[in-house]
A and B are shown apart, each in its own frame.
Chain A
Amino acid sequence: MINGTIFKQTLHANVKLWLMFTIVLTILQVVMIAVFDASTLTDVSHLVEGTALAGMLGKTTLLGMLASTFYSIHGVIFPIIFIIMTANSLIASQVDRGSMVYLLSTPTKRSTIIVTQAFYLIVALVIMFFMETIAGLVTIQVFQSDTDIVVADFVMLNVGLLLLMFAISGISFFFSSYCNLTKNSLAFGAGIQIAFFLCQLLSSVDESLNVLNYLTINALFDTTAILDGEHYWWKLIILFGIGLVLYIASLEVFKRKDLPL
């Protein structure tokens, strides 16, 4: 199902972008953990008490701080950009430019191509978050060794984020497989994710905008629930389900569609 030659070529074409985003993401994570100081944050939260920002700052533990910053803004938007760019270049841009023709003029099945490209995207994300998590854990040991941190919660935050990205990459990948033109693939494959992201961001600003939370799948990655130990599993399972369904849909759509090659 996975073709080594195509995978090698995909890796060759996309690994630079992946490396860039992984490094940026990891550095962000490391810096945010390293500079955390519980006492200053308490001061700040007193300052903004009662304003719109209070909701965004959330709890004043390290993980609480990370949950309301890294795990809802930086850690979300950077991988989203990576996904949008990569997913488009994996299928839609190759169909649009016409270079897909060379893969299909060999005895390679369409399904093999899709599975290989999807495999690359998923593996890239898994390794990206794996490295980010390891870097985060190391940084916690080095800089925050005296802070009380539940490592399991930290890992779960990352697993949750990975599953969110899996679902989001499913959306981008689906539109990359469905659309024959790069512009359409990007319009849907990026527009939807950005909309989700903005909905989630706005809903955390003010209570009155909470309704937006129901419009975004980002809300299924419920950082508060993870930290408070509430039931969050079903939400993550839904995220996984969304991703899986979309990847399978991508395969089926690509197998059946007419290619303008």
Chain B
Amino acid sequence: MSTSSTSVKQGRSELGVALLLLVLGGWAVIDALRLQELAIRGPIGPKTVPLVVGGLLVLTAVLLAIDVLRGGRGEQEAGEDVDLGHGSDFKTLGLLVAAFVANALLIERLGWPVSGAVLFFGTTYALGSRHFIRNAIISIVLSVSTWYLFYLGLDIKLPAGILKGIL
């Protein structure tokens, strides 16, 4: 891919950010207009600040769009483990999100000891680790031990799920 086409593509997705800001601003304004000015104490009701914030969002959307059209680009965040040389790896991201969603769906059905292990195992797989047996052992030890840590140490009862009565 030539650099100029990459830059055009990035410019288009940057305009998407402006669009998102515009949508958020519109949401704030529409939601605020629906509010009733009843039982207010003082001259400023519940509407004012949401309207101001909505206006600010719309304003930043416009300013950002102008900035992008004039060639401004957001500076991607660097870091110790970050290699900005290649674009976002959507396969890894997709697998990570899948592991995350699996946990959210399973935590109340199967309990944290199972769903947490699925989460950890799934994320290590997504990030490229292929030591299946070692990862499985670490996953189970981590999820069971955090369950006990929260239960005994912090008095927070995470769902035990199918292991209820065993743990």
Report if A and B associate in a common complex.
no
Name A residues whose Cβ lies closer than 8 Å to a Cβ of B: none
